[in-house]
Amino acid sequence: MKYAKPYLLLIIASVGLLFAQANLELALPDYLSNIVDTGIQQGGIENAVPIAIRQSELERIFIFMDPENQTNVLEDYTLADENSTDYDELVEIYPALVNESIYVLNDIKNMEIEELEDLLIKPLVVVFTFEQALANPENATEILEPLGFNASSLPPPEVFFAFLSSLPPENLTFIIEAITYSFESIGETMLNQLAVVAVGMEYEIIGLNTDKIQNMFILNSGGLMLLMTLLAVICTISVSYLASKTSAGMGRDIRSKLFRKVESFSSVEFDSFSTASLITRSTNDITQVQGAIYMIVRMVAYAPILGIGGIIRALSKSRDMWWLIGVAVVTLIVLIGIVFAFTLPKFKIMQKLTDRLNLVARENLMGMLVIRAFNKEKHEEKRFDKANIDLTAVSLFVIRVFVVMMPFMMLIMNGLSVGIIWVGAHRVADLSMQVGDMMAFLQYAMQIVFAFLMLTMMFIILPRAVVAGNRIQEVLAIEPVIKDPSEPKKFDKPFRGKIEFRNVVFNYPGAKKSVLQDISFTAEPGQTTAFIGATGSGKSTIINLVPRFYEVSEGAILVDDLDIREVTQHDLREVIGFVPQKSSLFSGTIESNLRFADEDASDEALQSSLEIAQATEFVSSKEEGIESEIAQGGMNVSGGQKQRLSIARAMVKKPPIYIFDDSFSQLDFKTDAALRRALKKHTGDTTLLIVTQRVSTIKNAEQIIVIDDGKIVCKGTHDELLETCVIYREIATSQLELEEKS
C-alpha cells in the first residue's frame, strides 16, 4: 500500500473504468433478452400502452375503468379526426383515421408510461379476450360461460359491449378479476404478453407498419449493444494501460528501494544473504509482485462488481433458479480452496529452488576456467541438473494441479449451462418465463462464474506473489547496523588524514569470540602504515573498519581526531581511496572504470594514474588503448592487470587517505617495487594503509604492525621488527629463503 500511494489516482481511475466496463457488460444480456422477447416475440412492441388506439376501442376499454382512471388516461392522449390540423400527416401514419377517430399518445415520460400501463393492462386484456371470443364462437364457451354468458347465442360486438356497459360496477369488477386471474395464475409475464398482443392487433387494424416497428426496435437494440461493446472494449484497453502503468511503476519503485537498501548494507548485512538470493529477489521476486499488482488492479475490483451485479440482474430475470448459480459457486469455492491448500507451500519451495538454481549457474559461469582446469564439467552438469530438476519437479506439480483444475471448472460451467437450459425450458413451456429471459439468465450465470474464475486466477498468482513479497520485505525490513548520525559533524579544514585506533574491539554478530582485540595505533599523514600477519589473523578486518564497512564493537576510530561514527559515511568515504583485496572492475571501458572515481577527471590525470599504477604499458599495447572494452567483472584482463587498474582508479580520486588491502599480491616483484616508488613519489602527505603478505612490499614503511590472532603483537620499522619481533622475523626469513631458492 505504501508503494501504491503515488499511483492512487491511476488506481481510482482504473476502478471507475472497471465499474463502467462491468455495467456495460452486464447490460448486454438485457438487450439480448429484449431483442428475443420484445423484438421477435412481441413484434417490437415494448409495453401495453398503445401509441395510437381507435376511439371505439378505447371506449370499450373505458367500460372496465372507473371515471377517475378514464380521466387520467385521456390526459395522456390527443383525439385525432378530420378536423385535426395535421390530419394529412396522421392519415399517412394511421390509415384507419379515414374511417374513424383515433387517440394518439402524447410525448410523455417513462414514469408516466409505467403508470398508464398499470391502468390499461387489465381492461385491455379483458376487451381483447371478449373480442377474440366473439370472433371465434367455437372457442368462446370456456371463457364466457363461467361468467354467465350463453356462448351459443352471442350478439354482435357492438351490442355485447353496450350490454356490458349497462352492468353494475360490481359485475364489471368480477368480470375483470375472473379473466385476469386466469392469466395471472400462470404468471404476470403472460398477462403482459397478452396485453402487448392486443396492442399489436390494434396497430394492424389502424394500419400501422408493424414490420417497421419491429425492425427499428431490433436495429436500435442491436446498435446499442454494439455501442456498449465498443465502450466496454475501450474501458478494457484503458484499464489494461493504467494497470500496466501502475504495476510497472510500483515494480520500478520497489526495485529501486530494494537496490538502495542493498547499497546501504554493511558487510554484516551482506553476510545474511547470498548474492544469488539478492539477485533473485531484485528480479524474479519483483516480477512476481509486479504481475500480481497488475492482476489486482485489473481484476480484484472488476470480479466482485461483475459477480454481484450478475447475481442481482439474474435474480431480476428469475428468482426460482438462483439455486443453480449457488451450487456452481459453492463448488467453485471448494475447488479453489483445495487448490490453494496444495499449491501455497509449493510456491515457497519454488522461490528457494530458484535461488539455488541461480547460485549454481552463477558459480559455474564465474568459475568456468577452474571447472575446465580440473575437468569437472560433468560434475558441475550433474550439480546444475539436480538444482534444475528439483525446480522443474515442483513447478510441474503446481502446473498439474492447475491443469486438473481447469477441466473441473469447465465441467462446472457446462453443467450450469445445461441445468439452466433444462429448468428454464420447463418454465418457458409453463408460460412462466420468456425465452429471452432464460437466455439472459444463462449469460448472467456465465458472467458470475467468470467472475469467480478471475478470482481463481488471483488465487493462482497471489500465493507466489505473497511469497515473493515476503522475501522482498525480508531485505527491506533489515535495519543496517551502520547508520549515519542524526546530527553529523564535518571534518576540519584543511584535512590532514591522521588515523587513530583506540582500543578497538570487533566481533561479528552472534560470534562468541572477538575477531580483533584491543587494537591501538596511529597512522600519520605522509607515512605508510603496513599490516602483516598470518592468513586469518584480522589484517583486512582492521582496514575494513576505517571506511565503516564494519562497525567497531568497542573502542573508537578517529580520523583527524574526529570519531568516524560522528560523520556521514559519504563524507568519510569521500576522503578515502580504497583498493579491495579482490579487485573489481565494471563492464565498460578502461576509461569509464577510471572515471568511476572522478567523472570530471582530466585526460592527463587518467594517464598519470595509469603511470603510477604501472599500467601504461599494457593499456597502450591494446588497439583501442584507454577506450578498450572491459568485460563484466574484468574477465578479459589478467589478475595483475585488474589489480593495477584498480590502483589507478584509486589514484584518479586523489584522496588524502589510501587503503590497499593486499592489492599487490598478483604483481611481480619488479612491478611491485616500481609501483611502490611511484606511490611514494606522488602520494606526498597522504596517509597510506597497506595490508600485504610480502615483507618486500612494506620494508620501507614508516610503521609496520604485526597482527596475530586479532591482536597487535609487534609494531615498528622493518629493522626494528627483525631484531625484536619473532613472528615478523620468521615471516621475513621464510620469504627471503624462498626468494633465494627461486
pLDDT digits (tens, 9 = 90+) for 576-621: 999 888 888 888 898 898 888 888 888 888 899 988 888 888 888 8
Question: CA-CA distances (angstroms) from residue 280 to 170, 351, 689, 736?
Answer: 87, 8, 37, 48
CA–CA distance, 27 with 18 (Å, rounded to integer): 14
Provide the residue type at 355 as one letter: D
Closest C-alpha among 557, 563, 555, 553 to residue 506: 553
- For the chain, the domains span 5-25+219-476, 47-208, 491-575+655-742, 584-654
Q: What is the pLDDT of residue 456?
A: 72
Q: What is the pLDDT of residue 739?
A: 55
- Can you state the angle between helices 210-263 and 286-295, rounded to 10 degrees? 150
Secondary element (H or E) of residue 169: helix 169-184
Q: Which residues contact 380 (CB under 8 A, 6 or more apart)?
A: 364, 371
Omega prior to 494 cis, within 30 of 0: yes
Cell of 608: 598519470
* Burial group, residue 507, by CB count within 10 angstroms (0-12, 13-18, 19+): middle
- What are phi and psi for residue 26, nearest 5 degrees? -70, -25
Q: What is the pLDDT of residue 147?
A: 61
Question: CA-CA distances (angstroms) from residue 616 to 597, 605, 612, 642, 669?
Answer: 18, 13, 9, 13, 17
Report whether 393 contacts 414 (CB < 8 A).
no
Tally Cβ neighbours within 10 Å of residue 714.
19
Q: How far is CA 430 from the centre of its chain?
A: 49
Q: What is the pLDDT of residue 665?
A: 76
Q: Which residues contact 51 (CB under 8 A, 6 or more apart)?
A: 104, 105
Q: For residue range 697-742, what is the model confidence (pLDDT) as tens digits?
A: 888 889 999 999 889 999 999 989 998 998 888 888 887 665 554 4
Cell of 640: 595483475
Q: What is the pLDDT of residue 501?
A: 94
Closest C-alpha among 726, 722, 734 to residue 708: 726
Asked whether the predicted pLDDT for residue 140 surpasses 70, the reply is no
Residue range 141-155: mean pLDDT, rounded: 63
CA–CA distance, 294 with 280 (Å, rounded to integer): 20
Secondary element (H or E) of residue 516: strand 516-523
Provide the residue type at 52 as one letter: A
Q: What is the pLDDT of residue 524?
A: 92
Do strands 576-579 and 499-506 pair parallel, antiparallel, or not at all (unpaired)? unpaired
Residue range 166-178: mean pLDDT, rounded: 77
Q: For residue range 192-237, what is the model confidence (pLDDT) as tens digits?
A: 888 888 899 989 999 888 888 889 999 999 999 999 999 999 999 9
Q: How many residues does the chain have?
A: 742
Q: How far is CA 579 from the centre of its chain?
A: 42
Asked whether the predicted pLDDT for residue 536 surpasses 90, the reply is no
Q: What is the pLDDT of residue 431?
A: 67
For the chain, give the longest Cα–Cα distance: 149
> Is the CATH number 3.40.50.300 carried by domain 584-654?
yes
> Per the CATH hierarchy, to which homologous superfamily does domain 491-575+655-742 belong?
P-loop containing nucleotide triphosphate hydrolases (3.40.50.300)
Residue range 39-45: mean pLDDT, rounded: 85
* Burial group, residue 620, by CB count within 10 angstroms (0-12, 13-18, 19+): exposed
Q: For residue range 639-672, what is the model confidence (pLDDT) as tens digits?
A: 888 888 888 998 998 899 999 988 887 777 788 8
Q: What is the pLDDT of residue 355?
A: 77
Identical fold, 5-25+219-476 and 584-654 = no
Residue range 60-75: mean pLDDT, rounded: 89
Q: What is the pLDDT of residue 531?
A: 93
pLDDT level of residue 13 (50, 70, 90 thresholds): very high
Q: What is the pLDDT of residue 475?
A: 86
The fraction of the chain above a pLDDT of 70, given in percent, is 94
pLDDT level of residue 103 (50, 70, 90 thresholds): very high
Report whether 586 contacts 593 (CB < 8 A).
yes
DSSP annotation of 51: S
Q: What is the pLDDT of residue 742?
A: 45
Residue range 234-259: mean pLDDT, rounded: 92
State the DSSP string of 95-150: GGGGTS-EEEE----HHHHHHHHHHHHHHHHHHHHHHHHHH-GGG-HHHHGGGT--
The CATH fold of domain 5-25+219-476: ABC transporter transmembrane region fold (1.20.1560)
Instruction: Compute the mean pLDDT over every residue in the chain, rounded to the nearest whole number.
Output: 84
Q: What is the pTM of this model?
A: 0.70
Q: What is the pLDDT of residue 563?
A: 92
Q: What is the pLDDT of residue 500?
A: 93
Report whether 245 contacts 6 (CB < 8 A).
no
Asked whether the predicted pLDDT for residue 397 surpasses 90, the reply is no
Work out the end-to-end distance of the chain between its first and last CA atoms, rounded to an integer number of angstroms.
67
Report whether 131 contacts 156 (CB < 8 A).
no
CA–CA distance, 466 with 378 (Å, rounded to integer): 37
CA–CA distance, 530 with 732 (Å, rounded to integer): 14
Per-state percent for the chain, helix, strand, coil, to nearest 5 = 65, 10, 25
Asked whether the predicted pLDDT for residue 314 surpasses 60, the reply is yes
Beta bridge partners of 437: none
Q: For residue range 422-454, what is the model confidence (pLDDT) as tens digits?
A: 888 877 777 667 787 888 888 888 888 888 778
Q: What is the pLDDT of residue 657?
A: 92
CA–CA distance, 577 with 597 (Å, rounded to integer): 9
Cell of 290: 509486479
Residue range 464-493: mean pLDDT, rounded: 85
The fraction of the chain above a pLDDT of 90, given in percent, is 21
Residue range 97-120: mean pLDDT, rounded: 90
Report whether 324 contacts 416 (CB < 8 A).
yes
